Structure 1
Amino acid sequence: MMTGTRRRSITLLSAVALFGLACVLSSLLLRQQAAAELAKAGQTLHRLISQRADQHDAHLTSLSALVQAADPAPIATVEQVAASITRFYPRIVGIDVVDLATTPPASLLDVTDPAIVAAEAAQASGATVRTRAIDDGTKLLLVKRALTDGVGHYAIALVIDIARLAASDVALPEGARAELGLAEHAQAGKKAAFSADIASRTQPLRLSLATTVPRWPTPPPAFLIVAALLTALGALLVDRLLEARARASEAARKAALAAQDARLAHAGRVNAMGELASGIAHELTQPLTAILSHAQAGQRLVQRPGVEPATLAPALDAIARNAKRAGEILGRLRAWISKSEPDLEIVDLAELAREVAHLLTTGALPAGSSLKVENDGSRPLVRADRVQLEQVVFNLGRNGLDAVAEAKGERIVTIAVATEAGQAVLSVADSGPGLPPDAQARLFEPFFTTKPGGLGLGLALCNRLIERFGGTLDGGNAAAGGAVFSCRLPLAAEAIRREAAE
């Protein structure tokens, strides 16, 4: 069965694992959310830059048409148009017209390096636009040749600020950074969160979005606090439920064991019916013998002439008393077989010893035998079934009288009552030959006896009865000779209160 400490350890580890899983899932969700936001922002910015690239083509076409309107080109008009374009489109930081027919080529607006523009124009054919990165990659140079009468000796140049071209009209996600450059110059193997080529036939640009957000972002503190509290609460509830379930299971197990013990005890009693049937015969022998003796004595008295009726009274009283005692013995033995509890009451042990001695002496004592009762002056009270306890003392006394029947010298049986160490003690000692050494270990074993013709049930039943009252029964040889049997029973609460008062 799982112990409470092990259960709590498993619950705690499960709670920690659940908290960790919640953090991982939250981090994964944040990661997916950040990726989705970054992709959305990249697509929006990609469309915006593509539109701006188309505007560049439109400006180049308009300027080319203006340059072709006359020869020489109307530079003053071109200069006015260029000023208007740069004012409305801040990313276009310069517009120039280069005359390719002169040696060296000449810049008509003094904005660009005419040699660079001429070099790019030399590679342009027809309406093709050349794109080149200048100023350490911070700007773009767009070059288009303007044809006049089939001879293109003018080149139109736009200078674009890359940072402004890549600027977004809306804020990018936290930690995101846009990078725009020529597609042919993109770093091979560099992995960006978002990357796409600009949709332009003339400007081969590539947009990339990078982010400084960790690959596995940390969940917010509020989430960590709430998750920790919920996990702790869940672990506590699970622990309480498991503890309640364990208690219920333990209670059910104990109830089942108790029921099983009760069934086994009852089965043991029923299985012992054969033993108890022999016990009934053993226990009833004494009262029946006394009844027979007194009945025979009464018959002899009746046969005598002139006998007064009052002479028969003692014999009749003895017969009635022993018959009642036999009935009580039968009732107690029947209760022993059934599940009923003994009828407990407060019993004065000293008084009970005197009554048993009287019962024993009313019968025929062995010749030369005597029975006496001793008391240390106390009046020990015990809680027991009077009839059953009386049977125990009667059996012990009867055994003592049987032991001294053939003894030489004094034939004395002593029933002593005393109070020792908070317990009531009743001992029965005899002056007989004592117990054989091999018999002392088997005194209370059923069907073991040292008497010829004995059943071996008396001491076994006595021991069981004393144990039912919470006491013990011991037997052995006395130092002065003979056997001694001692019953030790707990004092009743009334006796303890009385001793405290005294």
Structure 2
Amino acid sequence: MMRSRRAAILVAGFVAFGLACAAYSLNRRSHAAAELEEAGRTLHRLISQRVDQHDAHLTSLSALVQAADPAPVATVEQVAASIIRFYPRIVGIDVVDLALSPPRSLLNAADPAMVAAEAGQAVGSNLRTRALDGGNRLLLVKRALTDGVGHYALALVIDMARLSASDTPLPDGTQAQLRLIEQGRTASEPESAFSAEIASRTQPLRLTLATSAPDWPLPPPAFLALAVVLVALAALLVDRLLEARIAAREAARKAVLAEQDARLAHAGRVNAMGELASGIAHELTQPLTAILGQAQAGRRVLAQPEPDPATLAGAFEAIARNARRAGDILGRLRAWISKSEPVVETVDLTELANEVVQLLSANAQGIGATLRVGGDGSRPLVQADRVQLEQVVFNLARNGLEAVEGRNGERAVTIEIGTQGRDAVLAVSDSGPGLSPEAQARLFEPFFTTKPAGLGLGLALCARLVERFDGVITGENAAGGGAIFSVRLPRVASEARQEAAE
């Protein structure tokens, strides 16, 4: 489950990293598109102003040419030189005399035949445009009318690269292209990031901006490193939160199970009270009878003329000893049936087994059975709740007595105490009929019982209590007949044994 959770977190981390990179690229792309759009609109306005200046220059030159006949060539040449000096994009200005054959250039800045051809197609004083040098330059032609007759044609040669040059730097990787829109010809539109026609009636131009930047820019290394760190921290935080949540759920589940175990143990102890009634009555009868006998003996001694102090002291000592014994029996019974929290302490298994034998001695005598404690004399110590562990041994021993009740032959139940390695072993064996295959398969299953009036909670409760103290309980048929139930618990170290002895 942990591997699956962490694999899911890892996949989610990769997805988050990819989304972060995609968001960065989308943001950069949107920013670059907006920046390019703004640069294109700014350059478009600038070129529109420039082409309007071309119209103004041609109008001024036309007025100068019309001022006299013949045209004042020297004056026109001076004005043309001044325009070219202040407007570097205008690389040539010429005046062509259309009345001569062939037409003659007055300033030798353009091809007179080409200028005459364009002027011949002009209607009235309309301006004609023509691309030169494969579109690198633009020729503007305007007829200057004198007395209604166009004897002269004015020509401007424009450098398209300078005309489309921006006063502010364009975005990185961006190139501006300005071309003439020729009527009657449709050219395929190149793929561009920005395209718009110049708002000019006399100069049909189209501005396009193309960029070599990638459509989806890759994030820089610094961003990638930061994203990796943030995603890793987020994944670690999510893993820790999920782990804490799972731990909290597990703790809550264990708390519920512990509460259920406590209720089950309490119910089992109360249920066992009915079966313990006869044994408890027998246990209490013995010390009470002894107290009564010693008290009567003391009264007889006191009735004598000269009572013997030693005899009286012995009677009083016997009364006190049996009273303490009765009190211990009642105290142990009250603790055993009370619904209290486990109190872990060092427990001597041999001593605990002997106490269980005392509790069940009346039951054993009533059915003619023998109940004894045996072992290798090691007296192992374990860490457990004494009352709960006593309940386990009591349930196992009582089950053994019920198994031998009514049997022909020997009726014996033995509690063997010993050690195996670092474990203490308590085994309860009986000379009963043993376990059926069905019972052996479902021994510790809650509510499974082979007794007519049983609840099926005894062995299930024993298993829970033993597991609470890191132990294991098993049940099987003994080789010589009958059943044997073994409880294995971790032993206390020798230092703990010494401290307990001290």
TM-score, with structure 1 as normaliser = 0.70
**Whole-angstrom distance in 2 between the partners of 1:197 and 1:298:** 131
Which position in structure 1 is the counterpart of 2:117?
119
Separation in 1, partners of 2:353, 2:434: 31
- Whole-angstrom distance in 2 between the partners of 1:118 and 1:412: 141
Match of 2:444 in 1: none
Aligned to 2:445: none
In the TM superposition, residue 161 of structure 1 has moved relative to its aligned partner by 1.0
Q: Percent sequence identity over matched residues?
A: 52
Q: Sort the Cα spacing of 1:296 and 1:428 in 2 relative to 1 into closer, same or farther, 3 A.
A: farther
Q: Match of 1:192?
A: 192
- State how 1:29-428 maps to structure 2 within 5 Å: 29-184=27-182, 187-270=187-270, 272=271, 275-285=272-282, 288=285, 325=325, 327-340=327-340, 349=350, 378=377, 380=379, 421=420
Q: State the alpha-carbon separation in 2 of the partners of residues 351 and 92 from structure 1.
A: 117
Closer, same or farther in 2 for the Cα pair 1:10/1:417, shift >3 Å?
Answer: closer
Q: Distance in 1 between matches of 2:19 and 2:158?
A: 50
State the superposition RMSD in angstroms.
5.5
Counterparts in 2 of 1:478 and 1:47: CA distance versus 1, 3 Å: closer
**CA distance 1:137–1:74, shift in 2 (3 Å):** same
- Measured in 1, the distance between the counterparts of 2:220 and 2:135 equals 39
Give the CA deviation at 1:413.
9.7
| CA 1:495–1:36: 2 relative to 1, 3 Å | closer
User: Is the 1:380–1:424 contact (alpha carbons within 8 Å) kept by the matching residues of 2?
Assistant: no
Write the distance in 2 (CA, Å) between the matches of 1:351 and 1:71.
142
In 2, the alpha carbon distance for the partners of 1:4 and 1:149 equals 100
The Cα shift of 1:329 comes to 3.4
Query: Which range moved further: 345-354 or 141-150?
Result: 345-354
Counterpart AA for 2:274: A
Asked if 2 retains the 8 angstrom alpha-carbon contact of 1:298 and 1:312, the reply is no
Between stretches 319-328 and 221-230, larger displacement belongs to 319-328
Contact 2:178 2:207 in 1 (8 A): yes
Give the AA of the match of 1:380: R
CA distance in 2, matches of 1:173, 1:232: 35
* Matched residue, 1:367: none
> Contact conserved, 1:94 with 1:158, CA < 8 A, in 2?
yes
Distance change (3 Å), C-alpha of 1:150 and 1:211: same
Q: 1:16 aligns with which of 7, 14, 27?
A: 14
Question: In the TM superposition, what is the alpha-carbon distance from 1:333 to its structure 2 partner?
Answer: 2.9
C-alpha displacement of 1:281: 0.7
Q: Displacement of 1:246 after TM fit?
A: 2.1
- Structure 2 distance, partners of 1:333, 1:41, is 96
Mark the CA change 1:90 to 1:335 in structure 2 (over 3 Å): closer, same or farther.
same
Q: What is the CA distance between 1:223 and its match in structure 2?
A: 2.2
Report if the CA contact (8 A) 1:382-1:489 is conserved: no
User: Residues 371 and 146 (structure 1 numbering): CA distance in 2 closer, same or farther, change over 3 Å?
Assistant: closer
Q: Is the 8 A contact 1:280 1:333 kept in 2?
A: no
Given residue 7 of structure 1, which amino acid in structure 2 is its aligned partner? R
- SS of structure 2 residue aligned to 1:136: helix
Q: Match of 1:6?
A: 4
| Structure 1 CA distance for aligned equivalents of residues 232 and 138 of structure 2 | 59
SS of the residue 2:109 aligns to: coil
* Residue 219 of structure 1: how far off its partner (Å): 2.4
How far residue 486 of structure 1 moved from its aligned partner, in angstroms, is 9.9
Deviation at 1:222, TM superposition (A): 2.3
Equivalent residue number for residue 452 of structure 1: none
Q: Secondary structure, in 3 states, of the residue corresponding to 1:196?
A: strand
8 A contact 1:177–1:211 mirrored in 2: yes
Q: CA deviation at 1:54?
A: 1.5
Question: Deviations 1:378-423 (Å, cap 9, x if unpaired)?
Answer: 56365768xx79x97xx99xx8xx99xx98xxx9999998866465
Letter in 1 for 2:379: P
* Larger Rg over CA atoms: 1
Deviation (angstroms), 1:130: 0.5
Code of the aligned partner of 1:190: P
Work out whether residues 291 and 322 of structure 2, in 8 Å CA contact, stay in contact via their aligned partners in 1.
Answer: no
In structure 2, do the counterparts of structure 1 residues 167 and 231 end up closer, same or farther at CA, with 3 Å as the change threshold?
same
Q: Structure 1 residues 16 and 412, CA, compared in 2 at 3 Å: closer, same or farther? A: closer
2 CA distance for matches of 1:289 and 1:253?
Answer: 47
CA distance 1:161–1:29, shift in 2 (3 Å): same
Distance 1:90 1:447, change over 3 A: closer
1:133-183 deviation per Cα after TM superposition (whole angstroms, max 9, x unaligned):
112211111111111122112111111111111111111111111111112
Q: Which shifted more, 4-13 or 150-159?
A: 4-13
Alpha-carbon distance in structure 2 between the residues aligned to 1:85 and 1:313: 146
What is the DSSP-based 3-state SS (H/G/I as helix, E as strand, rest coil) of the residue aligned with 1:102? coil
Q: Deviations over 1:443-467 (max 9, x none)?
A: xx99979xxxxx99xxx99x979x9
Q: Name the SS for the 1:130 alignment partner.
A: strand
Q: What pairs with 1:457-476 in structure 2 (closer than 5 Å)?
A: none
Structure 1, unmatched stretches of 5+, are 365-369, 450-454
8 Å contact from structure 2 (residues 380, 418) kept in 1: no
Shift of 1:477: 8.8
Once the two structures are superposed, residues 157-210 of structure 1 have per-residue CA deviations (whole angstroms, 9 ceiling, x without a partner) of 111111111111111111111111112367334342212221222111111111
Distance, in Å, in 2 between the alignment partners of 1:492 and 1:152 is 126
Query: 242-251 or 32-41: which moved more?
Result: 242-251
Partner of 2:100, secondary structure, is: coil
Letter in 1 for 2:62: S
| Per-residue CA distance 1:348-372 (angstroms, 9 max, x = gap) | 9599979x99xx9xxx9xxxxx999
Verify the 8 A CA contact 1:287 1:322 in the aligned structure 2: no
Structure 1 residues 262, 436: closer, same or farther in 2, change over 3 A?
closer
Spell out the pairing of 1:444-463 with structure 2 (5 A cutoff): none
Q: Give distance in 2, aligned partners of 1:371 and 1:235.
A: 63
In 1: Cα distance, 2:232 partner to 2:372 partner: 77
